[in-house]
Amino acid sequence: MATQDPNLKAFFLPYFTTSHLTPLVDTARLFAAHGLHVTIITTPSNALIFQSSLNPHHQITVHTIPFPSAEVDLPQGIENFGSVTSTAMALKLAHGISLLRKPMEQFIRDGRPDCIVSDMFYPWTVDVAEELNIPRLMLHASNCFYHCVFHNLKVYAPHEKVQCDTEAFMIPDLPDKIEMTRSQLQDHLKTKTKYGEVINEIKESELRSFGIIFTSYSELEPDYVEHYKKVLGRKCRHVGLPSLSLQNNSITQQHSCLNWLDNQKPNTVLYVCFGSMIRFPDTQLNEIALALEASDHPFVWVVRKGGKTEEKEDESWLPERFEQRVKETNKGMIVREWAPQVLILSHRAIGGFMTHCGWNSVLESVAAGVPLITWPLFAEQFYNEKLITRVLKIGVEVGSGVWNPGFEIRSPVVGKDDIVKAVSCLMGGSEEVQEIRLRAKELSLMVKRSVEEGGSSYSDLNALIEEIKARVFQKE
* Domain range summary for the chain, segments of one domain joined by +: 9-65+100-157+192-240+451-475, 256-447
Rounded to an integer, what distance in angstroms lies between the CA atom of residue 410 and that of residue 269?
Answer: 29
| Residue pair 411/452 in contact by the 8 Å Cβ criterion | no
The whole-model pTM stands at 0.93
Q: Which of 26, 37, 114, 119 is catalytic?
A: 119
Amino acid type, 309: T
Q: Supply the DSSP symbol for 412.
A: P
Lowest mean pLDDT among 143-147, 266-270, 315-319: 315-319
| Mean pLDDT of the region 393-420 | 95
CA distance 266 to 82: 33
Angstrom distance (rounded) from CA 363 to CA 23:
11
What average pLDDT does this structure show over 358-371?
96
Decide if pLDDT at 85 tops 90.
Answer: no
Strands 308-309 and 304-305, by their bridges, are antiparallel
Distance CA 121, CA 429 (A): 43
* Phi, psi dihedrals of residue 304, rounded to the nearest 5°: -130, 135
Beta bridge partners of 12: 40, 117
CATH of 9-65+100-157+192-240+451-475, picked from 3.20.20.30, 3.30.70.1140, 3.10.520.10, 3.40.50.2000, is 3.40.50.2000
| pLDDT higher than threshold 60 for residue 307 | no
Q: What is the mean pLDDT of the chain?
A: 92
Shortest CA distance to 451 belongs to which of 134, 96, 27? 27
Residue 373 in contact with residue 345, Cβ under 8 Å? no
The pLDDT of residue 407 is 87
Q: Looking at per-residue confidence, does 15 or 253 come out higher? A: 15
Question: CB–CB of 141/360 below 8 Å?
Answer: yes
Q: What is the pLDDT of residues 191-206, one digit of tens each?
A: 999 999 999 999 999 9
Same fold for the pair 9-65+100-157+192-240+451-475 and 256-447: yes
pLDDT at 245: 64
**Has domain 256-447 been given CATH number 3.40.50.300?**
no
**Region class of 318: left (phi > 0), else alpha (psi between -120 and 50), else beta:** beta
Reported confidence tier of residue 4, pLDDT bands at 50, 70, 90: very low
Q: Is the pLDDT of residue 287 over 70?
A: yes
Q: Which of 144-148, 245-249, 300-304, 458-462 has the lowest mean pLDDT?
A: 245-249
The per-residue pLDDT for range 23-51, each reduced to its tens digit, is 999 999 999 998 999 999 999 999 999 99
Question: What is the C-alpha separation between 294 and 416, in angstroms, rounded?
Answer: 8
Task: Tell me the residue type at 208.
Answer: R
Nearest-angstrom CA–CA distance, 322 and 117:
48
β-sheet bridge partners, residue 42: 64
pLDDT band at residue 288 under the 50/70/90 scheme: very high
Active-site residue 119, yes or no? yes
Q: How many CB atoms lie within 10 A of CB 421?
A: 16
Q: How far is it, in rounded angstroms, from Cα 314 to Cα 334?
A: 14
Answer yes or no: 20 catalytic.
Answer: yes
C-alpha span between 291 and 178 (Å, rounded): 29
Q: Which residues contact 113 (CB under 8 A, 6 or more apart)?
A: 9, 10, 11, 39, 132, 134
- pLDDT single digits (tens) 334-352: 998 789 999 999 999 999 9
Q: What is the pLDDT of residues 321-337, one digit of tens each?
A: 898 898 888 899 999 87
Distance CA 333, CA 272 (A): 10
Please work out, in degrees rounded to the nearest 5, the angle formed at the alpha carbon of residue 19 by the alpha carbons of 372 and 274: 40
> For residue 393, is it left (φ>0), alpha (ψ between -120 and 50) or beta?
left
Whether the pLDDT of residue 279 is over 70: the answer is yes
